[in-house]
Chain A
Amino acid sequence: MRTIWLASYPKSGNTWLRMLIANLSAKDDAPVDINDLPERGGIASARGPFDYLTLIDSSLLTHDEIDALRPRVYEQLASGAQDDEYDKPENVPPARFVKVHDAYSLTPKGEPLLAGARGAEAAIVIVRDPRDVAPSLANHSAISIDEAIAFMSYNESGFCGKTHRQHSQLRQKLAGWSGHIASWLDQADIPVHLMRYEDLQADTFGALRRALDFVGRPASEDDMRRAVAFADFAQLRQQEPTKAFARRRGRGRAAVSSAAARRAAGATSFRPNRSHASKANTPA
C-alpha cells in the first residue's frame, strides 16, 4: 500500500484533512467518527508501532536512540508491515495517509528520520497563517499566546521531549513554525504538495481535489461531496464535545500583534501563496 505523509505544524488543519480523506471511504449516511480515526498508524510519532515492530521497550531508550531506529520502522510500515494485532480492515483503503508533526529532519546518524522515499511516496504539507496557529496552540497547550508565539519562534522547540517522564508519543522536533515549513519544502527526498489551510477553508472541495490529484488517489465527485459534508465543522464539534477542537478562523487573531506574528513567522518571513502549490521536489 502507498504511504503519503500529511505533514503540518500542530494546529494547522491536519485532523480536518484526515477527516476529509477518511470520509472518502465512508459508507452511505455514516460519517467516520473523529474518535475512530486510527490512533495506531494515525500519527508517525505514535509509540505503539515502534515498540511493536522493534520489540524494544521505547521507554528504555533515549530520544536520540529512538530517532536512530525510526527510519527502519517507517520503511517496514511503508512496505506493508502491520503495526498492531488488530485484524486488518475489510476494505483496505488505496493509500495510507499518515499524520506527522515532526519537521523533516535527519537522525543523529544523518539519514532522514522519516526514511525519505522508502518511508513514503509523497507528502501533503498543510500550512496555516501563524497568527491563527498561535491562539489555537495556546488553547491546546494551555499556555498564553505570548508563550505560544515564543514556542513557535524557537527552532529547538518540540513535543514530547521531556526526559523525566514518559510521553504517550515519541519526541517530535518541530523546528519552530518557519523552520518546520522550510524543512518540508527544502527536502529533496519526496515530492510535496503544499496546501494552505485558508484555501481548504475557502474552497474545501477544490483544495481536496488538487491534493488527491497530486497523490493520485481517485475519488468520485459524489464521494468527495459527501466527505466534505461529513467532515464539516459542525460534525466535528458534535462528535468531539470534550475537546476544545475548533477551526476558528481569525478568532484570537486580534490578540496577536503584528510584531508578534512576525516573530512567529521567523526570519525567513515565509509567505505561503499559490505559487508554492504542487511544488514537486525532485531529487537534486
Chain B
Amino acid sequence: MHSYRVAGLAVASEIELPGAIPAQPSRAPAVTVRAAPVPASLHDAAKKGVTWQIAGDRFLFQVPDVARFLLSGGREIIFEPAPGVEAGDVSIFLIGTVFGILLHQRGEIVLHASAVRVNDKAVLFCGASGAGKSTLAAALAQRSFPLVADDLCAITLAAGVAPMVQPDGRHLKLWAQAIEKLDLADRRGAAVRNRLEKFFVEPTVALAEPLPLGAVYALREARPPYRPGIERPNVVDAALLLRRSAYRPLMVNRMGQKADYFLAATAIANAAGIFHLTRALSFAAMPDVVSSLERHWLDIGLTEKAA
C-alpha cells in the first residue's frame, strides 16, 4: 500500500501515484484506491455524459482504452485498466481528473490552477488545459517562488479564517518545448505517459503544507479585445470566473454546486482578490509577465518593497 496526501486528504493506494505527496500511512485514510472490476455502466444512472455516469453517490468515469474508474461517496476509488495498459497510464488520470471529481463529490471547492508561494501565501493561476498554468508556475519557481500546485488546488473555507490552499504535488507537468525554452532539461523526469512528450519536472522547491490564499489570477491570452495587464473584475464576473475555474466546471453544474462556488467566490474576492491576468502566450513575454506580477504583489500588499 502507498500512502499520500492529496488535497489535504490521507490516501491509501494500491497503485503508485507519481507526483502525489508521499505521507506516513494513516490508520483511517480518508480515501482508498484499489484495483477491482468496474462495470461498463451504472444501471440506475440518473445523469450521463460523454465519459461519465452518476447514480446516487457513485460516479463512473472512463478514459476509453485506458481505464474505468468507480468513485463511491468521495471515499473509495476502484479502477480497472483496459487490457495491456501500464500502471503509469492509469495513475496520471487518477491524480488528475479522478481525484478532481472525488473532491467535487466531497463538495469541496477545487480549482483548475497552478500555485506558487509568495511570502507566506499561495497565489493561484487558473486556466483550462493549455492556458499556461504550469509554464507560468515553472517560470516563477525559477525566480525562487516555491511550487504549491501544478494542476489542482483544493481550497478550504471556514468562518473567520483565511481561505486555505492545499498543495497538490511535487512536480510540474511540462511539454518538451516548455522544458527547452525554460532551460529545465536537467530537472526533467519521466514522461507523464510513455506516449506523450510531456514530462514531470521537479521544481527547485515544492511545498507540502497548506497556505492561506493570497490571490487568484485567471489566465487569459492577450488577443483582441483583451489587452495585456492585470485587472479586477466586478464581483458578478468574479463569481462566474471562479465557477469557470473549477477543476471540472461541468461537475459544479451537474452536482448542484453553483451556490457553493458563488459563496466561495465572495469569500475569496474579499479575503484575497480575484483578477484577470491577460498576457501574450509566448515564452518571450514571460519576463514581462513575471515583472508585472511582482509589481502587482507589491500593490496588493503580498510583498513589501525592499528597504
Instruction: Give every chain A residue within 8 A of B92 (Cβ-Cβ).
Output: 60
Chain B CB within 8 A of A48 CB: yes
Using CB atoms, name the residue of chain B closest to A168: B130
Chain B CB within 8 A of A52 CB: yes
* Contact assessment for B250 and A53 in the assembled complex, using a CB-CB cutoff below 8 Å: yes
Instruction: Give every chain B residue within 8 A of A243 (Cβ-Cβ).
Output: 224
Using CB atoms, name the residue of chain A closest to B101: A55
A77 to chain B, nearest CB (A): 10
Residues of B contacting A: mostly: mixed
* Contact assessment for B130 and A59 in the assembled complex, using a CB-CB cutoff below 8 Å: yes
* Contact assessment for A85 and B253 in the assembled complex, using a CB-CB cutoff below 8 Å: yes
Chain B CB within 8 A of A47 CB: yes
- Contact A165:B128 (CB < 8 A) given known A55-B52, A56-B97: no
* Contact assessment for A55 and B129 in the assembled complex, using a CB-CB cutoff below 8 Å: no
Provide the bound-state CA to CA distance between A118 and B8, in Å. 43
* Contact assessment for B196 and A62 in the assembled complex, using a CB-CB cutoff below 8 Å: yes
Q: Of A53, A62, A167, A240, which contacts B49 at CB under 8 A? A: A53
* Contact assessment for B224 and A84 in the assembled complex, using a CB-CB cutoff below 8 Å: no
Q: Of A54, A60, A73, A85, which contacts B196 at CB under 8 A? A: A60
* Contact assessment for B129 and A166 in the assembled complex, using a CB-CB cutoff below 8 Å: yes
8 A Cβ contacts from B82-139 to A: 92-93, 96-97, 100-101, 128-130
* Contact assessment for A54 and B51 in the assembled complex, using a CB-CB cutoff below 8 Å: yes
B50 to chain A, nearest CB (A): 4
Query: How many chain-A residues does the 8 Å CB contact rule pick out?
Result: 36
Q: Of A48, A57, A85, which contacts B97 at CB under 8 A? A: A57
Chain B CB within 8 A of A25 CB: no
B232 to chain A, nearest CB (A): 20
* Contact assessment for A55 and B61 in the assembled complex, using a CB-CB cutoff below 8 Å: yes
* Contact assessment for B175 and A164 in the assembled complex, using a CB-CB cutoff below 8 Å: yes
Chain A CB within 8 A of B24 CB: no
Q: Of A35, A58, A167, which contacts B225 at CB under 8 A? A: A35
Provide the bound-state CA to CA distance between A35 and B223, in Å. 9
Provide the bound-state CA to CA distance between A244 and B100, in Å. 41
Chain B CB within 8 A of A76 CB: yes
Chain B, interface size category, equals 35 or more
Q: Which of A47, A61, A84 has the most CB of B within 10 A?
A: A61
* Contact assessment for A54 and B50 in the assembled complex, using a CB-CB cutoff below 8 Å: yes
* Contact assessment for A166 and B65 in the assembled complex, using a CB-CB cutoff below 8 Å: no
* Contact assessment for B193 and A60 in the assembled complex, using a CB-CB cutoff below 8 Å: yes
Q: Of B63, B177, B193, B281, which contacts A164 at CB under 8 A? A: B177
8 A Cβ contacts from A199-219 to B: none
Binds A, one of B32-40, B155-163, B241-249, B295-303: B241-249
Provide the bound-state CA to CA distance between A2 and B188, in Å. 47
Proximity bits, B246-273, A CB within 8 Å = 1, else 0: 0011111100000000000000000000
Chain B CB within 8 A of A163 CB: yes
Using CB atoms, name the residue of chain B closest to A163: B197
B8 to chain A, nearest CB (A): 21
Instruction: Give every chain A residue within 8 A of B196 (Cβ-Cβ).
Output: 60, 62, 163
Chain B CB within 8 A of A225 CB: no
Q: Of A35, A76, A167, which contacts B50 at CB under 8 A? A: A76
* Contact assessment for A56 and B93 in the assembled complex, using a CB-CB cutoff below 8 Å: yes
Chain A CB within 8 A of B140 CB: no
Chain A CB within 8 A of B215 CB: no
* Contact assessment for B128 and A51 in the assembled complex, using a CB-CB cutoff below 8 Å: yes
Residues of A that sit less than 8 Å from B by CB: 33, 35, 47-48, 51-62, 65, 68-69, 72-73, 76, 82, 84-87, 163-168, 240, 242-243
15 contacts between A and B (CB under 8 A): A47-B128, A53-B49, A55-B250, A56-B97, A60-B93, A73-B50, A76-B49, A82-B253, A84-B249, A85-B244, A85-B252, A86-B240, A87-B240, A168-B281, A242-B224
Seed contacts A48-B128, A60-B96; 10 additional CB < 8 Å A-B pairs: A35-B225, A47-B128, A55-B250, A58-B129, A62-B195, A65-B65, A76-B50, A85-B249, A165-B175, A166-B129
